[in-house]
Structure 1
């Protein structure tokens, strides 16, 4: 008898991934499409990305090292490894042989052993290496299958051995969990948008209410309730947040220790959780006073408190009894007809109170993720999330570099002067200029990467040759670096290859070395002519003065 759940899963996977999963190696094997789509779906479920991004994570094929999908989640600081098995009848589990193959693949990835790996894995070596070397990252392994039974103990033994050999009491580097047909069906049936998250029978203690300018409720809630929600919805709870749950960080480990040792005091040590809701309905139960209140929430997203929610969720799995003893302060904001702008403003200002740098709000901009994915096709890892540090100049670029390079790439010198005067102003509001001038749908990933390499080459050139100049001329090299980057870029971005491919770093260095002496000379002469007595540090922060120097130079190109 056909399994109706499998029929529905088949249909949904086709809707999500038709034309997106690469099956060119075996175009006639439908089961292969479903297996690879299942691996991509596991990435969607864990990381909250869309089908297009998840599809590109698939590595299944000959010489895949037992790994069917790899995704580096910068937001959660996790390297996610997936093995998938398609059971067309919806029954069965994982064999010990299949488990051993996955464990061997995990071992090789963590050891950075890629000999014989297929091109899809080779292509991901830069991001894999970066994650493995980064002490903040965790490796998360997922076995996703459409069988109905849990992995039997004998099959899970190799996984448990690897976990024991990798982790210790204080540092959890590697984690593992299993996704079965029931999990897949539930996820696909409930939809993938945050708007679909509805929480019923939310019980608030000692609750209060605010009516203006928009309705909000607040009170305390059992930490176990947060744990249940996180385990049900995972990172989809944080769809409108700047960050997902980051895993085993120092701060999150501290929260776990409080839950373990002093759960009754968790409320006093923690700032609580803030949720945006499309609709908040107060139920009639417990309606006579404010001691207890029962609520129904529609379209839920945690916009402040992702680390609290995720930490409680993971601890709840380990120790539900201790979690029950803790309470958390919870704010529920009913957006009603307030719209997207109100939601974004609440998200921004809530997190600003936690001293988040303004550029971190770029995490809310889908253009940043687009640029990351486009650069990754060329083997370049774009670090645009907070805390990521460059340790491989060949294969990595950062948002800090991109902001400066994009500012100096623009035709108008205003943005280059702003980059020198107050770089934070460039990312102060991701909804409008100057940020939208630098990063928008027309921002070209090749041009951005080439501009960054020109910036690196020019910075190196200026540092190397600084000793050859004296007095005000030397100060130009120090304080006029962004202005000169603007001038160099205006000259070099006319290269016909600038927007269509990544120019070789050696060629960029030669071009920069060739043009820089003339630009330095022209800037120094124009500055001395127009501002003979002004201190160079102040000149290049001022848009008007930069324009006067350009006018005195006569031309910024040639």
Structure 2
């Protein structure tokens, strides 16, 4: 990505394609894109963080990182003209906003005085005043789609409480996961100031040494992620680990100590070539452990000195895929990694991947690890499939914001059932994808754009379908429907029922202007979701009796014919 790619004229179409169903305009879409792609939040955390109402007191999003004990206050300012830049005026205003979060007393006063009910709910829901009193730091994050000018740069140097992400910084931190992985080229490591340990394990040979950090930043594929194709974690963005690495890089006195407390990087390659006692070159290489380190080094390269060296382990695998996978798994298993990463090789996931490919004739890819090259195919990630199954089969739409449980606590419960086949995953996914049109029928657009609303409406329609004898028969025959190529008929019937349910839902929820309707809490409540779905089912039956809506049999008449 280049900084110019974030300009309004160029980026607006991209944002509309991916975020039109979750945000009404460029500014709000840009904010959610940033939270997900640069801050690395999932869609549910990003939606929860956003404070989408008037009188926001200069706050567009609030996110609490309980691991690093930081409260992030985010403000987004987008520009529509291509020649615009960011000056210091808006940054100074934002600094004034952050003063309101300076102490427990100030935060409680803000919550009591603000006219923005969404901001108040975010402060209370996240217990921000209590956490600040307990020692959490408050950090401002100012984001914009244009470059900062000299005035802004000079101000940011003094205002340490603000992290500025202008278009240049965002482009540097963005990792494109759709590029081809691995580097099919050679690279020369500088070993002129290090002893080299040679090790032959029988199946592979290795070299271990200290390399100058500046030398490593010249490796291809750091900025776009291509270098890390086999790294199960990739770059984790703005995390506590990254901040710690960057902090060490910025302190020049610590450079000489860097190898003492840094794990180093692991590089797999097809061939190691000993040039001489000054250099070692490799051919066709990939980094399987060290994405965070290398991306941090690249972003802070101006502060790197000759004293900063990194422990490097080169492993020549000669194209042995099994050995590469084993090294990748074991080297990454030494660090905290996401459950999804380690479930990528689970038999259940591998089976579903193969079944989805077979049933779809290779047109749909079941993605079990971020960074897979699935160009030209429709992609269903295993996490996304898990959320759909959680809402439809396990009937828990209120839990769909807890994405981390899909590949962890709930993995066996969601995927480890005989009924969960690749065909069923495809069928339910196609039904779930029809939710966009029904959500447009909702009059409360903030409610409609909230990620959990989609899962609730999906669950509610499943309940309506299941209540009918014909509908129950269809749900029991999803495998056959998918294999017979009748998914379009299934999706049309589902969409028809969902549109009617959305129209009925309008009569049950508060209007857009009622900021006291705390849907972010309601949609996470089992009691609220079950009660509301029961109301929609009852209303559906009334509508059918009065000939105001199609019955389930009518909606799926093409399938039942």
What band does the TM-score fall into relative to the shorter chain? Answer: 0.3 to 0.5
Per the normalisation by structure 1, the TM-score is 0.48
TM-score (norm 2): 0.48
Q: Return the structure number with greater relative CO, CA threshold 8 A, min gap 6.
A: 2
